[in-house]
A and B are shown apart, each in its own frame.
Chain A
Amino acid sequence: MKKINYIFFLALLCFGLQAQEKGDVLIKNGTVITITNGVLENTDVLIKNGKIDKIGEDLSASDITTIDAEGKFVMPGIIDAHSHIALDVVNEATSPNTAHVWVGDGLNPYDVGVYRALAGGVTISHAMHGSANAIGGQCETIKHRYGVLNPEEMRMDGAPRTIKFALGENPMRVHGERNNISPATRMGMEQIFRNAFEQGKAYMKANKDYAAGKLDVPPLYNLQSEVMADILKGDIIIHCHSYRADEIYMLLRVLDDYGVKKICFQHVNEGFKVAPELAAYGAHASVFSDWWAYKFEVYYSTAYNATILAENGVVTSINSDSGELIRHLYHEAAKTQRYGGLSDNEALKLITLNPAIQLGIDDRVGSLEEGKEGDVVIFENHPLSIYAIPQQTIVDGIVRFDIAEDIDDMRLDVDPEETVPAFYELEEHSHEHGEDKCMQDVYEFLNHKH
């Protein structure tokens, strides 16, 4: 029977679930954590055609998958504002400014990491370019529709464009230390941004002049300048890898000079030191729950960072930046209760509504409200309890993870020539060499001086 299940499930994954397919599901009698409207006991959630149709008591619908959630906790799908799963490429580390590249071109729907994230209740992640460059590539907000094979179908259609910036040691190391070109310092870093924004401004002007007939020929198309211009126009949200308070403050000043408002600082380990400034600018912060000391710029960190930021009015989220942490963001959020005593709802906001705000998708996801998308996770035990176990994870009304249906081997693509799946030793404390996931693909660069 198990085998039949297995084959059926695979067949379902491969052929049944297409594209932006939307599902219907009725979740009965759960403790519904809405995030925006309190906790509702014994409540049903009806998802129709991928959207939350109704939240209330004694809902019914005919001919619909029904999940009994009695004694269970129903919350919005978890959103990770910083991840690198489902990506074949993370870093195009060849220039301090690679605004022209886009990780959305390199999505990998076969990554079993997506399934593992689903098993941790995560329905949406922000697949980011790495931090090798001051201005990295554009990122992609993806929905965890594990089972679709077309990379295009991983995208969250209509989500705002985002781009990765990076400050501090990583870009300094890659460009200054390796290639002996600027930026080698945090001073040089500032000028990279100013130059890039000026480049975008000049490009916009040239195009405007051409449109107004002041030029005979259009300026030579330049993808990097296009992207810089779009940032200046407010079409792209910046997500900036950063650690130290001084560099965070620097970028705020630069952005202010160019009138760029949409900024979310990532990691931002010393954000707590400039929390009032971040709040005043309206900047957001997406942080680790407790990572620190893996390099010098995170030595003066504190696990109370999220709490301090939140208490100072900064829209804050907890992210993973890791294929491991993404599996238990609910636990990472709970750490703000140990370190700073946030309330349940404040803590859960850090992995639902707040990351949704940071990605510009809070009108569609991040809370359980009628009309929002049917991204839901059902927990055994309260999600902030260490004993919480995700039971089902639903994306657009389709159950993509069900603990009862889980089979061992969830790979979507099998190489007919491999012998057995490779065994990976635990990477001895991957932070030991100061390489977070953000530096993926850069390793080879650092090793080969040309």
Chain B
Amino acid sequence: MKIVNILILCFLTVVGFGQQVEKSTYKDVLLKGATLVTVTNGTIEGDLLISDGKIAKIGRALEAGEAEVMDCSGKFVYPGMIDGGTQLGLGEVGSISLTQDSDEIGDYTPHMQALTAVNPNSVAIPVTRVNGVTTVISSPTGDLFPGTAALINLHGYTPDQMYAGFKAVVMNFPSTGKRGRRDRRSEEDIKKDSDKALKKLKEFWQQAEVYAKINDGSYNPQLSAVLPIINDEAPLIVNVNKKSDILAAIKWSQEKEINVIFSGVADGWRVADSLTKYDIPVIAGPVLSIPSRNSDRYDAAYTNVAKMVKAGVKVCLRTNDTENVRNLPFHAGFAAAYGLGVEEALKTVTINPAEIFGVDDQLGSLTEGKVANLFVSTGDPFETKTQIEHLFIEGWNVPIESRQTLLYDEFLERDPGADNKK
């Protein structure tokens, strides 16, 4: 790694600091002699050919042909990891509101498109992908219907280049929990607020159903945004955490006869049977969070995923983060350690999200014909010390470089040093 860095350092001195100078390349590559962790088809010692942006072939002793050969002996290849819920690209500097694009004003803004506001040049994007996270849901935040989330690949210069084939309206189910440690509302006030929000939800959905029935194509961006849900063409992502709220949300979605994906689901372990019974997939996390109640076991959030998976719930993970989505593998690692096991944990960041978002024909495993979103690592990507050495997104060979690595390269041995001399 240090040698690589020194090489990069030499390179940098030529072109100057601060630019993303090393460009991605797009050509056929043969990953040779690797341990291929396919996720859906076991672990294979062999080669993998990337061609035309896809995984063209997996097997032993593949012919390179025109492809560049990359010696991967002793290395591991994994499908790119997928984060089921982030604000990546929608926010740049936390405290500066004018750099924050996730929260539009208004209770009913399902038509707000995350894909519109994702900044392809966000500094956080390279920071994230060099840890092997290739694809994320970027989601609006805020009120009852904050907007439409989109699945994006972390490479490209326009939203269209990044779009990975899934969008869904997001809803925050009215909560009967406290908003945070600073929430001083009494139990009654919380109940009142949540009743108010439930009423709003009821009214909105009533209008949407009427709109769907009339079906006259009149211009109504709010209601038309949820048409695909009512017409059973798309699922609704529902943020919900507390046990009683989850049960209420299940009841609501059953009444409305719509497909839902629950997100957050901190109390999922308390109602895992209900989630299984109604076959509701879950975007769980963050795994690295404190328990929701002071009376909960200290590891409630660590073990939540394992308990849901054991009960038969289909689970993928989310970090719910913006700048530190790079920690997705560590969230998965903690879930693995606390009952889930490595194999299942790997699924929660690869094939499970791909299936939940209906893109498992494209993403989520090392399978011939799928998009070449994958990375080469020195080992288990959940293990903290593992290094990611090569990264491919839609077949692009993306340099393992971000502003954070560039700063390392510049400052590890600063010139001039303290004595102002070389």
Q: Which residues of chain A come closer than 8 Å to B342, judged between CB atoms?
A: 387
Q: Which residues of chain A come closer than 8 Å to B266, judged between CB atoms?
A: 426
Q: By the criterion CB–CB under 8 Å, are B293 and A421 in contact?
A: yes
Q: By the criterion CB–CB under 8 Å, are A409 and B337 in contact?
A: no
- Residue in A293, A340, A411 whose Cβ sees the most chain B Cβ within 10 Å: A293
Q: By the criterion CB–CB under 8 Å, are A429 and B293 in contact?
A: no
Q: Name B364-411 residues within 8 Å CB distance of A.
A: 382-387, 403-405, 407-408, 411
Asked if A425 is at the interface (CB within 8 A of a chain B CB), the reply is yes
- Residue in B182, B242, B385 whose Cβ sees the most chain A Cβ within 10 Å: B385
Nearest chain-A residue to B297 (Cβ)? A408
**A113–chain B nearest beta-carbon distance, Å:** 8
Which one of A126-134, A183-191, A298-306 is at the interface? Answer: A298-306
Q: By the criterion CB–CB under 8 Å, are A328 and B87 in contact?
A: no
Q: Which residues of chain B come closer than 8 Å to A381, judged between CB atoms?
A: 337
- Name the one of B95, B292, B408, B411 contacting A424, with C-beta atoms under 8 angstroms: B292
Given A295-B93, A424-B293, A426-B286, output 13 extra A-B contacts at Cβ < 8 Å.
A116-B298, A272-B408, A277-B418, A293-B92, A294-B95, A302-B403, A324-B289, A389-B338, A423-B178, A423-B241, A423-B292, A424-B292, A428-B141
**B306–chain A nearest beta-carbon distance, Å:** 13
14 contacts between A and B (CB under 8 A): A115-B298, A272-B407, A293-B323, A296-B96, A301-B407, A302-B404, A328-B334, A423-B176, A423-B243, A423-B267, A424-B177, A427-B179, A431-B323, A432-B322
Q: By the criterion CB–CB under 8 Å, are B296 and A408 in contact?
A: yes
Asked if B417 is at the interface (CB within 8 A of a chain A CB), the reply is yes
Q: By the criterion CB–CB under 8 Å, are B411 and A331 in contact?
A: no
- Residue in B2, B94, B264 whose Cβ sees the most chain A Cβ within 10 Å: B94
Q: Which residues of chain A come closer than 8 Å to B404, judged between CB atoms?
A: 292, 301-304, 339
Q: Which residues of chain A come closer than 8 Å to B131, judged between CB atoms?
A: 338
**B97–chain A nearest beta-carbon distance, Å:** 8
Q: Which residues of chain B come closer than 8 Å to A339, judged between CB atoms?
A: 404, 408
- Name the one of A116, A277, A388 contacting B337, with C-beta atoms under 8 angstroms: A388
Q: How far is the CA of A45 from the CA of B93 in the complex (A)?
A: 48
Q: By the criterion CB–CB under 8 Å, are B94 and A434 in contact?
A: yes
- Name the one of B91, B383, B407 contacting A385, with C-beta atoms under 8 angstroms: B383
Asked if B294 is at the interface (CB within 8 A of a chain A CB), the reply is yes
Asked if B288 is at the interface (CB within 8 A of a chain A CB), the reply is yes
Q: Name A399-431 residues within 8 Å CB distance of B.
A: 406, 408-411, 419, 421-431
Q: How far is the CA of A292 from the CA of B327 in the complex (A)?
A: 13
Asked if B412 is at the interface (CB within 8 A of a chain A CB), the reply is yes
Q: Which residues of chain A come closer than 8 Å to B267, judged between CB atoms?
A: 423
- Residue in A411, A428, A429, A435 whose Cβ sees the most chain B Cβ within 10 Å: A429
Q: By the criterion CB–CB under 8 Å, are B298 and A308 in contact?
A: no
Nearest chain-A residue to B175 (Cβ)? A425
- Name the one of B94, B298, B386 contacting A433, with C-beta atoms under 8 angstroms: B94
Q: Which residues of chain A come closer than 8 Å to B333, judged between CB atoms?
A: 386-387
Q: Which residues of chain A come closer than 8 Å to B164, judged between CB atoms?
A: none
Asked if A268 is at the interface (CB within 8 A of a chain B CB), the reply is no
Q: Which residues of chain A come closer than 8 Å to B316, judged between CB atoms?
A: none
Q: How far is the CA of A220 from the CA of B365 in the complex (A)?
A: 74
Asked if A349 is at the interface (CB within 8 A of a chain B CB), the reply is no
Q: By the criterion CB–CB under 8 Å, are B418 and A279 in contact?
A: yes
Q: By the criterion CB–CB under 8 Å, are A386 and B327 in contact?
A: no
Q: By the criterion CB–CB under 8 Å, are B177 and A422 in contact?
A: yes
Query: Closest 9 interchain pairs by CB?
Result: A434-B95, A386-B333, A276-B418, A334-B384, A294-B94, A304-B408, A337-B385, A295-B95, A293-B323
Q: Which residues of chain B come closer than 8 Å to A428, judged between CB atoms?
A: 141, 320
Q: By the criterion CB–CB under 8 Å, are A302 and B293 in contact?
A: no
Asked if B317 is at the interface (CB within 8 A of a chain A CB), the reply is no
Q: How far is the CA of A340 from the CA of B290 in the complex (A)?
A: 28
Q: By the criterion CB–CB under 8 Å, are A422 and B293 in contact?
A: yes
Residues of A in contact (CB 8 Å), total 70
Q: How far is the CA of A73 from the CA of B337 in the complex (A)?
A: 16
Q: Which residues of chain A come closer than 8 Å to B182, judged between CB atoms?
A: 443
**A265–chain B nearest beta-carbon distance, Å:** 16
Q: By the criterion CB–CB under 8 Å, are A293 and B264 in contact?
A: no
Q: By the criterion CB–CB under 8 Å, are B123 and A293 in contact?
A: yes
Asked if B295 is at the interface (CB within 8 A of a chain A CB), the reply is yes
Asked if A219 is at the interface (CB within 8 A of a chain B CB), the reply is no
**A126–chain B nearest beta-carbon distance, Å:** 19
Q: Which residues of chain A come closer than 8 Å to B292, judged between CB atoms?
A: 423-426
Asked if A323 is at the interface (CB within 8 A of a chain B CB), the reply is yes
Q: By the criterion CB–CB under 8 Å, are A300 and B407 in contact?
A: yes
**B13–chain A nearest beta-carbon distance, Å:** 18
Q: Which residues of chain B come closer than 8 Å to A16, judged between CB atoms?
A: none
Q: By the criterion CB–CB under 8 Å, are A429 and B124 in contact?
A: no
Given the contacts A302-B407, A302-B408, A389-B337, A338 and B323 also touching, CB distance less than 8 Å: no
Q: Which residues of chain B come closer than 8 Å to A277, judged between CB atoms?
A: 418
Q: How far is the CA of A133 from the CA of B129 in the complex (A)?
A: 37
Q: How far is the CA of A323 from the CA of B290 in the complex (A)?
A: 7
Nearest chain-B residue to A301 (Cβ)? B404
- Name the one of A311, A331, A410, A423 contacting B298, with C-beta atoms under 8 angstroms: A410
**B180–chain A nearest beta-carbon distance, Å:** 4
Q: Name B270-293 residues within 8 Å CB distance of A.
A: 286, 288-293
Q: How far is the CA of A381 from the CA of B177 in the complex (A)?
A: 36
Asked if B60 is at the interface (CB within 8 A of a chain A CB), the reply is no
Q: How far is the CA of A394 from the CA of B241 in the complex (A)?
A: 34
Q: By the criterion CB–CB under 8 Å, are B411 and A429 in contact?
A: no
Nearest chain-B residue to A388 (Cβ)? B337
Asked if B22 is at the interface (CB within 8 A of a chain A CB), the reply is no
Flag A369-401 by CB within 8 Å of B: 1 or 0 each: 000000000000100111111000000000000
Q: Name A126-179 residues within 8 Å CB distance of B.
A: 169
Nearest chain-B residue to A119 (Cβ)? B298
Q: Name A311-340 residues within 8 Å CB distance of B.
A: 311, 323-324, 327-328, 331, 334-335, 337-340
Q: By the criterion CB–CB under 8 Å, are A424 and B181 in contact?
A: yes
Q: How far is the CA of A388 from the CA of B242 in the complex (A)?
A: 29
**B329–chain A nearest beta-carbon distance, Å:** 8
Nearest chain-B residue to A303 (Cβ)? B404
Q: Which residues of chain A come closer than 8 Å to B407, judged between CB atoms?
A: 272, 300-302, 304
Asked if A6 is at the interface (CB within 8 A of a chain B CB), the reply is no
Q: Which residues of chain A come closer than 8 Å to B288, judged between CB atoms?
A: 324, 328
- Name the one of B187, B330, B384 contacting A337, with C-beta atoms under 8 angstroms: B384
Q: How far is the CA of A285 from the CA of B321 in the complex (A)?
A: 26
Q: Which residues of chain A come closer than 8 Å to B183, judged between CB atoms?
A: 424
Asked if B1 is at the interface (CB within 8 A of a chain A CB), the reply is yes
Q: Name B48-106 residues within 8 Å CB distance of A.
A: 87, 91-96, 100
- Residue in A331, A406, A419 whose Cβ sees the most chain B Cβ within 10 Å: A331
Q: Which residues of chain A come closer than 8 Å to B383, judged between CB atoms?
A: 385-387
Q: Which residues of chain B come closer than 8 Å to A389, judged between CB atoms?
A: 337-338
Q: How far is the CA of A337 from the CA of B379 in the complex (A)?
A: 13
Q: Name B310-360 residues within 8 Å CB distance of A.
A: 320-324, 326-327, 330, 333-334, 336-338, 342
Q: Which residues of chain A come closer than 8 Å to B256, judged between CB atoms?
A: none
Q: By the criterion CB–CB under 8 Å, are A429 and B322 in contact?
A: yes
Q: Which residues of chain A come closer than 8 Å to B338, judged between CB atoms?
A: 389
**A291–chain B nearest beta-carbon distance, Å:** 7
- Name the one of A327, A384, A421, A433 contacting B95, with C-beta atoms under 8 angstroms: A433
